[in-house]
C-alpha cells in the first residue's frame, strides 16, 4: 500500500502544480457564470432595444382586428395576391399576414427571411388572443366569467414522510445538475487517466517504474491520484461558488442565513407573490444539503474509480489516442445512456426505469443523483445501489489490472477484443 500511496501522491502533485490546473480551478467558477450572465444580458438588451416590426395584414372582411404591441405593428393592406406580394417584397415591412376567409380562416405569414421561433410563437399568441376575445364577445362571456370557469391555483406540495415542503422545480434542478456534473467529470478525468497511461507507455517511463512496482499497483495509484485531483477541484469550485453567491446576496441586501429575509420584501409584494416567495423559501431551506453532498461525493468517487479503471485499461492496451476509439465506444455507451435517460428518470423518479438505472453500477452514479433530488429513495435501494457500485469498481479494477499488467509493456501490437480476452485469461 505504501507504493500505491507514493504513486497516488506523485499523480496528485504532478497535476496540482501545473499552471493549467490553477487557471482552470479558479477561472471556471467565474467564467461560466460570466458567460451565461453576459448572454442573458445581451439578450435582454437586444429585446429591450428592438423596435416594433411592421406586419402587413390582408383581412378583407376586417373580422379579426389585431392590436399593436411592443413587438409588432399591424397595418391593413388590400389588393390581389400578386400585387400585394410584389409590394411587400419591394417595401420595408417585416412580414405579410394573410387571413383566407374562403378556406375556413386559414392564416399564412410571408417573410423575407425566416421567422425566429420566438417571433413565430408571439405572433401566434396575438392571433389566438384576438380570436379568443372575439369568441368571448360573440358568446357574451366576460373575462370575469372566463376566469371563474378556468381558475388558476398554486399547488403546494408537502412530503408527509419527511415532514418537509417540496418543490418539483428545485428537485429537478438538483437532480439534473448533480447528475450532469458527475457525467462531465467522469468523461474529463477518465480521459486524463487514459492519456496519462498512454504517455507513460509511449515515453518508456513505465518500464522503469514497473521494475519496482506491480502494474496493478501503478494503475490503482494513478486512478486514485487523479481522483484526488478531481475531488480537490470540485471542492474548490463549491467553496468559490458559495463565497461568490454569498457576496452577491450581501451586495443586494439578501441574508441567506435567515429565512425571515423573505418577509422584508413581502411588504412590497402582492399576496400571490408573497405566497410564492414563501413557498420557494420553505422548499429551499428544507433541502437536505448534507445528505445530498455526502451522497454526491460517494457516487462521484465510486463512478470515477469504476470508469477510471476502464479508461486506464484502454490506455494500457493501445499506443495512441486514435487507437483507443474502438475500445472507448463500449465504455461511453452507459454514460451516454445515463444522461439521456436522466430526463425520463426525473419525470418519474420512482418508476422501473429509474430503479434499474440507479442499481446498475455503470449507470447508477448519474441516475441515483437524479432520484435523490426528489428525496432519498428507500434505504434498501440506496444500500443496494452503493454495494453494487463498490463491487463494480472493485471488479473493474481487477479486470483492468489483468489487461494493464500485460498491455502496459506491449508496443506495436495490433490489439482487438480477441487479444484483450487472451490477456485476461493469461495467468502470468
* Complete domains list, the chain, with CATH: 2-33+164-425 (no CATH), 53-149 (3.40.190.10)
- What are the pLDDT digits (tens) for 370-392? 888 777 788 899 999 999 999 99
pTM score, whole prediction: 0.67
Q: pLDDT: is 67 or 207 the higher one?
A: 67
- Distances, alpha carbon 280 to alpha carbons 79, 270, 285, in Å: 55, 15, 9
Q: Which range scores top for mean pLDDT: 99-103, 229-233, 267-271, 277-281? A: 229-233
Q: pLDDT: is 276 or 333 the higher one?
A: 333
The whole-number average pLDDT for the span 205-223 is 71
Is the per-residue pLDDT at 276 higher than 60? no
Q: How confident is the model at residue 364 (pLDDT cuts 50, 70, 90)?
A: very high
Percent of the chain at pLDDT > 70 equals 79
- What are the pLDDT digits (tens) for 336-348? 989 888 888 888 8
Are the CB atoms for 385 and 367 separated by under 8 Å? no
Are the CB atoms for 345 and 172 separated by under 8 Å? no
CA atoms within 13 A on the CB side of 47: 8
- Distances, alpha carbon 154 to alpha carbons 56, 143, 301, 377, in Å: 40, 20, 40, 26
- Predicted pLDDT at 230: 77
Locate 84 and state its grid cell.
Answer: 400585394
Radius of gyration from C-alpha coordinates of the chain: 30
| Across 24-28, 203-207, 272-276, least confident range | 272-276
Locate 17 and state its grid cell.
Answer: 502544480
- Predicted pLDDT at 122: 86
The whole-number average pLDDT for the span 293-320 is 85
Is the per-residue pLDDT at 278 higher than 60? no
Q: What are phi and psi of 204, to 5 degrees?
A: 65, 10
Burial class (CB in 10 A: 0-12, 13-18, 19+), 414: exposed
| Across 6-20, 239-253, 312-326, least confident range | 239-253
| Across 67-71, 271-275, 316-320, 351-355, least confident range | 271-275
- What are the pLDDT digits (tens) for 45-76? 777 777 788 888 888 777 788 888 888 888 88
| Across 245-259, 359-373, 400-414, least confident range | 245-259
Burial class (CB in 10 A: 0-12, 13-18, 19+), 251: exposed
Amino acid at each position: 500500500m505504501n507504493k500505491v500511496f507514493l504513486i497516488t501522491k506523485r499523480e496528485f502533485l504532478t497535476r496540482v502544480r501545473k499552471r493549467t490546473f490553477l487557471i482552470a480551478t479558479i477561472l471556471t467558477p467565474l467564467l461560466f457564470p460570466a458567460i451565461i450572465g453576459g448572454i442573458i444580458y445581451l439578450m435582454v438588451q437586444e429585446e429591450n432595444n428592438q423596435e416594433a416590426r411592421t406586419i402587413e395584414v390582408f383581412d378583407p372582411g376586417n373580422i379579426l382586428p389585431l392590436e399593436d404591441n411592443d413587438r409588432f405593428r399591424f397595418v391593413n393592406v388590400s389588393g390581389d395576391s400578386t400585387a400585394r406580394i410584389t409590394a411587400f417584397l419591394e417595401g420595408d415591412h417585416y412580414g405579410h399576414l394573410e387571413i383566407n376567409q374562403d378556406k375556413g380562416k386559414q392564416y399564412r405569414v410571408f417573410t423575407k427571411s425566416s421567422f425566429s421561433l420566438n417571433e413565430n410563437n408571439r405572433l401566434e399568441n396575438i392571433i389566438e388572443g384576438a380570436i379568443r376575445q372575439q369568441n368571448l364577445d360573440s358568446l357574451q362571456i366576460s373575462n370575469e366569467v372566463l376566469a371563474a370557469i378556468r381558475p388558476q391555483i398554486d399547488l403546494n406540495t408537502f412530503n408527509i414522510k419527511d415532514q418537509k415542503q417540496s418543490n418539483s422545480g428545485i428537485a429537478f434542478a438538483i437532480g439534473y445538475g448533480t447528475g450532469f456534473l458527475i457525467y462531465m467529470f467522469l468523461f474529463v478525468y477518465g480521459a486524463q487517466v487514459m492519456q496519462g497511461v498512454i504517455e507513460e507507455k509511449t515515453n518508456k517511463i513505465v518500464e522503469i517504474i514497473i521494475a519496482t512496482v506491480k502494474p496493478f499497483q501503478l494503475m490503482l495509484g494513478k486512478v486514485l491520484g487523479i481522483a484526488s485531483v478531481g475531488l480537490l477541484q470540485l471542492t474548490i469550485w463549491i467553496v468559490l461558488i458559495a463565497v461568490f453567491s454569498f457576496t452577491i446576496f450581501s451586495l443586494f441586501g439578501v441574508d441567506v442565513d435567515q429565512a425571515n429575509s423573505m418577509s422584508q420584501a413581502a411588504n412590497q409584494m402582492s399576496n400571490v407573490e408573497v405566497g410564492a416567495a414563501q413557498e420557494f423559501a420553505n422548499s429551499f431551506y428544507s433541502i437536505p444539503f448534507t445528505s445530498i453532498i455526502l451522497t454526491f461525493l460517494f457516487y462521484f468517487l465510486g463512478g470515477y474509480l469504476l470508469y477510471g479503471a476502464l479508461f486506464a485499461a484502454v490506455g494500457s492496451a493501445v499506443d495512441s489516442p486514435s487507437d483507443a476509439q474502438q475500445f472507448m465506444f463500449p465504455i461511453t455507451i452507459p454514460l451516454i445512456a445515463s444522461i439521456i435517460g436522466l430526463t425520463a428518470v426525473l419525470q418519474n423518479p420512482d418508476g422501473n426505469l429509474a430503479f434499474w438505472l440507479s442499481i446498475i453500477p455503470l449507470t447508477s452514479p448519474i441516475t441515483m443523483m437524479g432520484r435523490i433530488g426528489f428525496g432519498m429513495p428507500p434505504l434498501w435501494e440506496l444500500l443496494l445501489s452503493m454495494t453494487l457500485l463498490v463491487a463494480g469498481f472493485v471488479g473493474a479494477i481487477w479486470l483492468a489490472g489483468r489487461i494493464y499488467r500485460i498491455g502496459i509493456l506491449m508496443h506495436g501490437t495490433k490489439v482487438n477484443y480477441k487479444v484483450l480476452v487472451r490477456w485476461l485469461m493469461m495467468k502470468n
